Structure 1
């Protein structure tokens, strides 16, 4: 696991560099897209590069992490609507190149199986973008989730609904109680995982992710067992990292071995 402690306003460009390098070598790469506030700077930076003609997603494909169950198509808080607004509409993906799980499918369990099969059929995810919840969840894999879990229906934890109420005009009751989410086992199959966390509210989750014991209590800690994970955090999100000085030193020396 590589930990990069950087200014918040530089993180988007750092990840955009990784995506551009991937697309240069493999224009038909498969990306894993997350919603929420954490990836927004990434999407801004990639969209700017596409706008300048420096990179292209025209041959790439992408899969989103999750979706609420029961929101009407086009609902402003639907993750399909959000990812279209925040990223897809601003870049040059081909029509139909971005897929998300259908939270209104008539058979949600069949939809989950089909979604995992679609990711596998695409060759798997080359670079997966993640955020992390204050309780250590990634995607909607709440504390207690199985490390072997696949895309499935999940009941949202009370804390997650409280955290997400800000997107529903502060109304916790308007936040759906269920979602479809890629499982931890599904996420772990991505070849490169990039997790972004900023702000003091994420400091404990980041500490557990990077330096804590691997435990279902903090689902993101499964990433310690992944072969290639990059964690990008700002100074306040890194405040509880006991080895922060080493992470800064290692990153500063990175160019010597590349």
Structure 2
């Protein structure tokens, strides 16, 4: 696991955009997260596209999760959110932006179809992630199986409370969602997790330096062969090995690109 510490959230976003851009230029299958943390990264990618530096025309995208019960046009559905905040502002084909079917009356079947669609696309090349205050990634809550695939999940009360800011009241927050599983995420070729703010500091320490445990679903990234965690100073405040993580980055080999691949392979 590579841990990159940046002074500010804007610099977290810029670093994440550098990594994602290297994949995008190769026509990647993107795994997209919603929530507030990735927004600055999406804005940076949009700006690069508008400046003519980046095209998404050869890319496909799969959302990480979706609320059950919200139709695609609902302002808080992730189908709507990702388009409003990101994909409608770039040159990706809208038909290439996929999300779980949260209104399917047989959600277990919708989950199976979504898992197959990811597999049929050749898997996710780069998966963008945030982290919840209780250590969840996607909607994989504590006690999630480390090998889980896309499925229905009951949201933790802490997650419902955290997400209430997007709704008029906590009572309006759906209590269930379809989410890529931890096993699905671990099959991505590169996982990039972002965290900013002091409220994420405890979760970041547990994911990176704590034990591998279903109680902290994000700790499953310790099993990922290529995971990058990008945090600001506040989110990284509790990390015990901050100096070493900075040392690793300062001594990165000259042949290694932003996405972890040899520079020659990233062209």
TM-score bracket for this pair, using the shorter chain length: over 0.9
Q: Could you tell which deviates more after superposition, 30-39 or 103-112?
A: 103-112
Any stretches of 5+ residues in structure 2 without a counterpart? 257-267
- The answer to whether structure 1 residue 224 and structure 2 residue 225 are counterparts is no
Q: Give 1:182's aligned residue.
A: 180
Determine helix, strand or coil for the equivalent of 2:187. coil
Partner of 1:3: 3
Partner of 2:17: 16
Q: 2:122 matched to which residue of 1? A: 123
Structure 2 match to 1:137: 136
Structure 2 CA distance, aligned partners of 1:176 and 1:21? 36
* Structure 1, unpaired ranges of 5+: none
Q: Deviations over 1:158-179 (max 9, x none)?
A: 000000000003x111101111
Aligned pairs, number: 255
In 1: Cα distance, 2:19 partner to 2:247 partner: 20
- The 5 Å alignment of 1:33-48 reads 33-48=32-47
Match of 2:262 in 1: none
Partner of 1:84: 83
Question: How many angstroms does 1:256 deviate by?
Answer: 4.0
| 3-state SS of 1:230 partner | strand
Q: CA RMSD in A?
A: 1.0
What displacement does 1:257 show? 5.3
Deviation of the 1:17 alpha carbon: 1.2
Q: 1:9-46 deviations in whole A, cap 9, x for unaligned?
A: 1111211111221233x22x100000001111110111
TM-score under structure 2 length normalisation: 0.93
Aligned to 2:251: 253
**Is the 8 Å Cα contact of residues 88 and 94 (structure 2) preserved in structure 1?**
no
In structure 1, what is the Cα distance between the partners aligned to 2:217 and 2:10? 27
Alpha-carbon distance between aligned partners in 2 of 1:199 and 1:112, rounded to the nearest angstrom = 32
